[in-house]
Chain A
Amino acid sequence: MKAAPFRYHAPSTVAEAVDLLTEHGDEAKVLAGGQSLVPIMALRLGRYGHLVDLNRVDGLRGVEAANGHVRVGAMTTQSAVEHDPMIADRVPLVAAAAPHIGHFQIRNRGTVGGSIAHADPAAELPAVAMALDAVMEVGGPEGAREVRAADFFTSMWTTSLADNEILTAVRFPVRSELQGFAVSEVARRHGDFALVGTACAVSVDGGGVVTDAAIALFGVGPTPVRAASAEEALVGTGPDADLGEIGRLALSGVDPNDDVHASGDYRRRAGAAIVARALGTARDEARGGRS
């Protein structure tokens, strides 16, 4: 249960890190918080000749607000966003997701960018990024570029990042008035990976009619996915909408795997129930609005 030998690199700038990744190609791996990578290495599911540790790279930590979004540096810890008052106020879906990520000891080291770049299909933050249409800021040999969440997650543990690119920050749009949010998941133990989960955002008008909805599902396929048909069905409904039906519709478009923890059928049924529950919570919060 020990990692295979590797060379350790601790660059201090993004450019240095990108150079190291370019030099070592697919022998190299980025180390962020390590809360997923180190277990993979310990279990020998992965072995890398070179680790490029981003922990000493300047400028990758911190949360700042600008132009209708909140920019979270990729190396900002999950604990930091969990306890950041500005995140709670302006990007409540991130704050709602954080307590579900691992345990507080994991969140003290695990990073926002690490979780998103790792792209575990059962993880919370990739689904949050999908639900909010977050924008990924990427650093590479050609300089910086941006990728929309919908184009970022390509398959299980796989993103559209090139081998020598680094996720440097994630921009989340600031909540608007009359918008509500919820995260709900089923896990064997609090903090374990979700068997199935959802991150939802619901907007309503002054009369309480849904004007916009985002339903992101996780743990149901190789990437987090948006339940587009259920989102469409919810828009235009009032307080009498049958959320159970919306939940079933949301899960009808996915084909979750069977594994030792749960059957695909269980995931679909439990997923429908938690989508209904999360939408109810989000819609109520949206109706309460902010004065």
Chain B
Amino acid sequence: MNEIPVTMTVNGEDRAATIEPRLTLADYLRSECGLTGTHLACEHGACGACTVLVDGAAQRSCLVFAVQAQGAEITTVEGLAEAPGEPTAVQRAFEDCYGLQCGFCTPGFVVSVTAFLRDNPEPDDREIREALSGNLCRCTGYGGIYAAVRQAAAELAEAQGGAS
């Protein structure tokens, strides 16, 4: 068989497997790691539902072969919160602002927005809209999603101000 061993860290846990090179990181996370929060829709990079952090950078996990993640540190939507029942500011904001409708696209949005606000803590309207353009919501729930980004940004700014 054309299979290759691969090791990586997923949500802080060391993982090892022997897999076919054509297995995408998205399918690896779902089928080998049981982390089904990473959603797959278009499977060619257009929709963003499968977004995860690869060494901290938000990427489409359907456009990375799992063998390419050898040695990488992966964070999925399941790994964002510090503990079960303690959602992050971004996750709370999506709930508060009705930033999810059917919820299918939500993991990708939450991961993308988490990375976006980490790198740009005080975004303006245009920057938020551009950042959100990489994820599709077929329910067209963008109003709530946009509001969630605003709320999360304000909350994170306040937390930072309080900490300094």
Residues of chain A touching chain B, judged by Cβ–Cβ distance below 8 Å, are: 1-8, 10, 31, 34-35, 38-39, 41-43, 51, 53, 55, 79, 99, 102-106, 108-109, 189-191
Say yes or no: A191 contacts B67, CB within 8 Å: no
CA A96 – CA B67 in complex, angstroms? 33
Q: Using Cβ atoms and an 8 Å threshold, which residues of chain A touch B14?
A: none
Contact of B68 with A by CB under 8 A: yes
Say yes or no: A6 contacts B133, CB within 8 Å: no
Q: Using Cβ atoms and an 8 Å threshold, which residues of chain B touch A189?
A: 133
Say yes or no: A103 contacts B63, CB within 8 Å: no
CA A108 – CA B119 in complex, angstroms? 13
Max chain A CB contacts within 10 Å: which of B44, B70, B115? B44
Max chain A CB contacts within 10 Å: which of B45, B115, B134? B45
Given contacts A105-B58, A105-B59, A108-B58, contact A5 B22 (CB under 8 A): yes
State which of A8, A31, A108 has its C-beta within 8 Å of the C-beta of B57.
A108
Given contacts A105-B134, A106-B134, A190-B133, contact A2 B45 (CB under 8 A): no
CA A6 – CA B68 in complex, angstroms? 14
Contact of B32 with A by CB under 8 A: no
State which of B22, B48, B51 has its C-beta within 8 Å of the C-beta of A6.
B22
State which of A3, A38, A53, A190 has its C-beta within 8 Å of the C-beta of B45.
A38
Say yes or no: A105 contacts B60, CB within 8 Å: yes
Contact of B2 with A by CB under 8 A: yes
Q: Using Cβ atoms and an 8 Å threshold, which residues of chain A touch B54?
A: 108-109
Q: Using Cβ atoms and an 8 Å threshold, which residues of chain B touch A190?
A: 129-130, 133
Between A and B, 8 residue pairs with Cβ closer than 8 Å are A2-B22, A5-B20, A8-B4, A10-B67, A34-B64, A103-B48, A103-B134, A105-B134
CA A276 – CA B143 in complex, angstroms? 34
Distance in angstroms from B110 CB to nearest chain A CB is 13
Max chain B CB contacts within 10 Å: which of A10, A31, A53, A109? A109
Q: How many residue-residue contacts, CB under 8 A, span A and B?
A: 90
Max chain A CB contacts within 10 Å: which of B20, B63, B68, B116? B63
Distance in angstroms from B61 CB to nearest chain A CB is 10
Q: Using Cβ atoms and an 8 Å threshold, which residues of chain A touch B121?
A: none
CA A189 – CA B62 in complex, angstroms? 21
Say yes or no: B45 contacts A35, CB within 8 Å: yes
Say yes or no: A79 contacts B57, CB within 8 Å: yes
CA A189 – CA B142 in complex, angstroms? 14
CA A96 – CA B99 in complex, angstroms? 31
CA A31 – CA B4 in complex, angstroms? 17
Name the CB-closest residue of B to A9: B21
CA A42 – CA B2 in complex, angstroms? 18
Say yes or no: A8 contacts B65, CB within 8 Å: yes
Name the CB-closest residue of A to B44: A39
State which of B45, B65, B115, B129 has its C-beta within 8 Å of the C-beta of A39.
B45
Distance in angstroms from A76 CB to nearest chain B CB is 14
Say yes or no: B63 contacts A104, CB within 8 Å: no
Name the CB-closest residue of A to B42: A1
Contact of B112 with A by CB under 8 A: yes
